Amino acid sequence: MDNVQMIDTFKAFKDFLCNFARTHSPTRLMSSENTYSLSREHCNLKYSDILPQNVEGYPATKEFLMKVVDILLDFIKSSNDRNAKVLEFHHPHDMTKLLDLDVPDTGVTLQQLLLDCSTTLKYQVKTGHPHFFNQLSCGLDLVSMAGEWLTATANTNMFTYEIAPVFILMEHVLLTKMREIIGWNGGDSILAPGGSISNLYAFLAARHKMFPTYKERGLSAIDGQLVMFTSDQCHYSVRSCAAVCGLGTDNCVMVPSDERGRIIPSKLEELILERKAKGHIPFFVNATAGTTVIGAFDPINELADICQKYGCWLHVDAAWGGGLLLSRKYRHPRLSGVERADSVTWNPHKLMGALLQCSTIHFKEDGLLISCNQMSAEYLFMTDKLYDIKYDTGDKVIQCGRHNDIFKLWLQWRAKGTDGFEKHMDRLMELSEYMVRRIKQMPDKYYLILEPEMVNVCFWYLPTRVRNMPHGPEREKILGEICPILKARMMQAGTLMVGYQPDDRRPNFFRNIISSAAVTEQDVDFLLAELDRLGHDL
Ligand code: HLD
């Protein structure tokens, strides 16, 4: 065999292997897999054949990444296809068998990685599907997603201006704008990994403001028992501040709420006085703007009066309801008085539809974040840098590394404009009002639990057998038992996802969330018809 023959034989063998790999892959699960096949030239390549390891590897790098993009585009397409399922449910035990999750000693080919990517998305719940109503963060805003793609590619840490100059300036501009929308001039803000951590930042700043030496002296800086107050409907992260920060959850006082889920201000005052009488130090009140389950808004002005009277810090947890600050129609009375707060949590990844995750915490007073959290690590936050070091935001936080959560929000805001966000907020509220109207038009099939203040629509589905029963505790018990069964049917059918939970007043009920730009009136009609189709015989 001469050299040419040998090369030909080798090429033929390589082609055979290539085709074999394409058709016999153990995770060959996508019917459209061939679309994701690399060219013959590249199908046996591995990570080391592309950039950065192989400086000649740009053509293969490009082909590989373009195929990844094809996989992502197909996922986006099917997320927006109302005939496609929201999910393909398998129990963990069965799902494990469908996947090859092993991380091998010897790495796999790029071709296998493409199959891995497509298999991963095949079994992922499509949270951007118009029939996904399950979480406060629903939907897939494609401009924000484009931003996230760019963020991933830029792959930078947000602690210093020197490695993230553009993104740091974007944070500065956008957070200033958000504070203006709250109603403040000046102040300070930071993006945090989620609403819970944002609330923790508020707690830390409040304690620092009242006891500036706590940072150095710890517990000995406080002569007495600190107490915080929040409603019994608040997000659990508020209580977790008391556990994490040394108060103990017994010193996070849960104030009763009214039948609409709003804190009762007179009860708050009573409880503050009760604790003061014991010699405790009330210092922090949390108002929730948009409770997680019911979507209730605490009366901020009334709480601000009480905080003023007793010298407490007022924090507004508007992680959920904050988006409504952008709507002239719905902002008042829900968020009236928010400008009187000392701090505000506001998550653009919820109602505003920014990609997960994007959570902001704002302070009326500038300088607190830095003096509270600064540790002055000399290897990162040198004070003799070439630029104004106030742009090194990393020392304002208790984390070190910070993910870039700003670009996706900035790009989305550029696309929509503030007006576009206002229209978006109004549309979500109108769709929720539409859902409430439809529910009221079908009293035999649906029971509205309360008039919503937000896009949380809480209701029971009434199967045929309970339709003639008078509504009372006995029927509520049956309806509560039905929720998990109906939810299981939804997930097994794969056509719909709506959440359910009990609360302290009633057994399980459904909580529908409309926070996706994909949802239309027809989708609301589909949701109600599908619940009936799946649940009438329960
Ligand atoms: O704490 C919660 C956060 C989110 C979210 O970011 O989507 C609770 C929920 O959602 C929820 O859907 O109950």
Q: What are the pLDDT digits (tens) for 242-294? A: 999 999 999 999 999 999 999 999 999 999 999 999 999 999 999 999 999 99
Q: Which CATH class is domain 416-535?
A: alpha beta
Percent of the chain exceeding pLDDT 70 equals: 94
What phi, psi does 425 have (nearest 5°)?
A: -60, -45
Residue 5 has pLDDT above 90, yes or no: no
Sequence ranges of the chain with CATH classification 3.90.1150.170: 416-535
Q: Averaged over 17-36, what is the pLDDT?
A: 51
Mutation probe of ligand 1 site: the residue of 197, 292, 501 with most atoms within 8 A of C-beta: 292
Atom of ligand 1 nearest to the CA of 235: 1
Q: Above 60 in pLDDT, residue 27?
A: no
Residue 409, pLDDT > 70, answer yes
Cβ of 501 closer than 6 Å to ligand 1, yes or no, is: no
Does ligand 1 come within 6 angstroms of the Cβ of 179? no
**pLDDT at residue 28, as a whole number:** 43
Average of pLDDT values for 215-224?
A: 96
Residues of the chain with CATH 3.40.640.10: 186-384
pLDDT > 50? residue 32: no
Residue 460 phi/psi, 5° resolution? -110, 145
**Which ligand 1 atom sits nearest the alpha carbon of residue 357?**
6
**pLDDT one-digit tens code per residue, 475-492:** 999 999 999 999 999 999
The arithmetic mean of pLDDT across residues 168-197, rounded, is 98
Asked if residue 164 lies in contact with residue 405, where contact means CB atoms within 8 angstroms, the answer is no
Angle of the 407-441 helix axis to the 142-154 helix axis, nearest 10: 150
Is pLDDT at 201 greater than 70 in this prediction? yes
Q: Is the CB of 137 under 6 A from ligand 1?
A: yes
The enclosing H or E element of 198 equals: helix 195-210
Average pLDDT score over residue span 200-226? 97
| Strand 359-363 to 343-346 pairing | antiparallel
pLDDT digits (tens, 9 = 90+) for 512-536: 999 999 999 999 999 999 999 999 9
pLDDT of residue 35: 73
Query: In this predicted structure, what is the pLDDT of residue 158?
Result: 97
Which tens digit of pLDDT belongs to each residue from 352-384?
A: 999 999 999 999 999 999 999 999 999 999 999
Residue 11 Cα to ligand 1 midpoint, Å, equals 54
CATH architecture of 186-384: 3-Layer(aba) Sandwich (3.40)
Provide the 10 A C-beta neighbour count for residue 8: 12
**For residue 380, how far is its CA from the centre of ligand 1 (angstroms)?**
34
Q: Work out the pLDDT band at 34, boundaries 50, 70, 90.
A: low
